[in-house]
């Protein structure tokens, strides 16, 4: 009997302690009004990520399709002009799509999107090729010199052929890039002239996001 009474008293004591602990926790929790005031004062809601806009082809005018096609087709002027003038007209011709973009950026989403696409493609294909030609060419030449000098320690026997293959791959990249850009620009010019929405791989997504909520949109 004593043991049972002792156990009952012990259980009642534990229940009392637990009840007091819960009461303390409840009393120490902030009031809903306090929480709402804190959130209103210090909480900054996360801004939703800007989504790319869509460019409808349903109501495109003849003027819009013509200027979009001109922006894409201007890559022929850049490539042929660069070929026959030793690159003299390239610094001017690559900016023709950008001029079209500024002409239509507040008048036509369709034209501004395609003009900016065309400008980015021409900029990457010309400046990119020039950078690869200069920087890559210098790096390859220095590497080949080192590989030739390494022949004296036998390592060059392996390095020279490998570096030669790298040079061939670099030359192919320089030659193929302009033709690839010309191909995409021609296809885009034909598609937009026929009232279609053509998107360059990789380039279109970046341009889309810039126009939707990036730097170019705020500019």
Indicate whether 72 and 142 sit together in one domain.
yes
Indicate whether 99 and 156 sit together in one domain.
yes
DSSP conformation class of 151: G
Indicate whether 31 and 77 sit together in one domain.
no
Domain span at residue 10 reads: 2-42
- Dihedral sign for Cα 57, 63, 67, 69, please: positive
pTM tops 0.75: no
Give tens-digit pLDDT for 58-105: 678 889 999 999 999 999 998 888 777 777 777 788 999 999 999 998
Q: Is residue 51 part of a domain?
A: no
Give tens-digit pLDDT for 14-70: 666 666 654 554 454 445 555 555 555 555 555 555 455 556 666 788 899 999 999
Indicate whether 15 and 69 sit together in one domain.
no
Q: Is the pLDDT of residue 122 over 80?
A: yes
Could you write out the DSSP letters of every residue in 74-116? HHHHHHHHHHHTTTSSHHHHTTHHHHHHHHHTTT-HHHHHHHH
């Amino acid at each position: 009997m004593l043991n049972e009474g002792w156990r009952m008293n012990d259980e009642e004591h534990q229940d009392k302690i637990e009840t007091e602990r819960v009461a303390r926790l409840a009393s120490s929790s902030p009031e809903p009004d306090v929480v709402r005031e804190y959130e209103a004062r210090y909480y900054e809601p996360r801004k939703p990520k800007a989504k790319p806009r869509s460019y409808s082809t349903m109501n495109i005018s003849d003027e819009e399709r013509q200027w979009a096609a001109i922006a894409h087709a201007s890559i022929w002027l850049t490539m042929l002009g660069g070929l026959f003038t030793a690159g003299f007209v390239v610094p001017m011709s690559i900016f023709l799509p950008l001029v079209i973009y500024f002409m239509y950026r507040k008048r036509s989403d369709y034209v501004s999107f395609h003009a900016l696409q065309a400008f980015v493609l021409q900029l990457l294909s010309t400046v990119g090729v020039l950078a690869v030609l200069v920087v890559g060419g210098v790096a390859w030449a220095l590497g080949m010199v080192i590989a030739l000098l390494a022949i004296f320690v036998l390592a060059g026997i392996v390095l020279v052929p490998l570096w030669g293959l790298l040079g061939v791959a670099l030359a192919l990249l320089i030659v193929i890039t302009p033709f690839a850009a010309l191909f995409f620009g021609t296809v885009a010019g034909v598609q937009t002239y026929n009232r279609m929405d053509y998107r360059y791989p990789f380039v279109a997504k970046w341009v889309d996001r810039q126009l939707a909520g990036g730097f170019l949109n705020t500019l």
